[in-house]
Amino acid sequence: MADFFSSGWSMYIMVITAISIAGCLWLTMTLSKKHPPGESVGTTGHSWDDTLEELNNPLPRWWIWLFYLTIAFAVVYLVLYPGFGANKGSFGWSQTGQYEQEVQKVDAALKPVFAKFLQQDLQQVSADPQAKAMGERMYLTYCVQCHGSDARGSKGFPNLTDTDWLHGGDPAAIEKTILEGRNGMMPPMAAAVGSAADVENVANYVLSLSGSAHDAVKASLGKPKFAACAACHGPDGKGNPALGAPNLTDKIWLYGGSVASIMETINKGRANQMPAFKELLGEGKVRVLAAYVWGLSNTPPKSASAQQAVQ
């Protein structure tokens, strides 16, 4: 409540709050007045069964005092805590501050744990049962929205359970991706390829690279035009991990492997972003998360405890 973009909103809240409290106090005082002795008590105008009427008596005293206590509580609360416009309260409490304190407390407790994992090879971390459980929880918190609960991705979001990686699938590359994020961008190439017919021909040629269903005649016509794409995907279409350019010779498609979807990619381009988590999670947590992600498509080495059990 204490964060406003202008003082006008703060004043508006203060006025409304003060009027509301004053109105409650006035109403309570009005309803607490007793009738003078001997004065007849009127009715509220409601009657049942002709003779049963509701008298207009004041509220019980214990009920009135509950209203007064409620009003007093509201005043004290607004003095101690934020709520009265831009006033931050005498305690200086805020939801953000409480959240940051709780995060710092948890980080302090877990700092030795993550420090231990930072000293280990990422593949060793992936074999640690504790690290795996922690990495799974972090994945379900930060990654599931894009890559899915089963990590198999969806249209525009990579599958993390196979061995196909745009920027490389070794432990260091995965950790760097999570730390720094990635910006994937395929520019519109229709102008470079040529006419609409040329775009369709190139789409068929791209499909032919992976042995997918295609029109052979159109593919042969599109092969020379593919030269415009070779700068990123390579003359053989095998891609370039340094640029994040995908391999076109397999049958793994991020946006779909039909002629229509490939033509759409050539005509409009593609833009995708993987956010960076270094500032949010820190290197220790990223190491554990990267180890979990690496383990989704690789077999972690046996941990020391597992080896001892075998021996």
- Please report the pLDDT score of residue 182 as a whole number: 94
Q: Are strands 52-55 and 270-274 parallel, antiparallel or unpaired?
A: unpaired
Q: Are residues 3 and 88 in the same domain?
A: yes
Q: Are residues 1 and 148 in the same domain?
A: no
Q: Are residues 132 and 252 in the same domain?
A: no
- Please report the pLDDT score of residue 308 as a whole number: 47
Q: Are residues 83 and 220 in the same domain?
A: no
* pLDDT per position as a tens digit, 136-181: 999 999 999 999 999 999 999 999 999 999 999 999 999 999 999 9
Residue 305, pLDDT > 70, answer no
Q: Domain of 218: which CATH number?
A: 1.10.760.10
CB neighbourhood size of 279 (10 A): 7
Q: Are residues 27 and 86 in the same domain?
A: yes
Chain centroid offset of residue 195 CA: 41
Q: Are residues 263 and 283 in the same domain?
A: no
User: How far is the C-alpha of 136 from the C-alpha of 288, rounded, in Å?
Assistant: 9
> The domain containing residue 240 runs over which residues?
185-272
The pair of three-digit structure tokens given for residue 154, joined into one six-digit string: 């969806």
* pLDDT per position as a tens digit, 49-97: 777 887 777 788 899 999 999 999 999 999 999 988 888 889 989 888 8
Q: Are residues 200 and 64 in the same domain?
A: no
Closest CA to 205 of 268, 263, 254: 263
Number of domains in the chain: 3
User: How far is the C-alpha of 104 from the C-alpha of 288, rounded, in Å?
Assistant: 19
Q: Are residues 26 and 98 in the same domain?
A: yes
109 belongs to a structural domain: no
Q: Are residues 92 and 240 in the same domain?
A: no
As a whole number, the mean pLDDT across the chain is: 90
17 belongs to a structural domain: yes
Q: Are residues 165 and 201 in the same domain?
A: no
Q: What pTM was computed for the model?
A: 0.71
Q: Are residues 174 and 218 in the same domain?
A: no
Q: How far is CA 142 from CA 106, 131, 166, 294, in A?
A: 18, 16, 20, 16
Q: Are residues 282 and 175 in the same domain?
A: yes
Contact partners, residue 39, CB within 8 Å, separation at least 6? none
44 belongs to a structural domain: no
42 belongs to a structural domain: no
CB 215, CB 204: distance < 8 Å:
yes
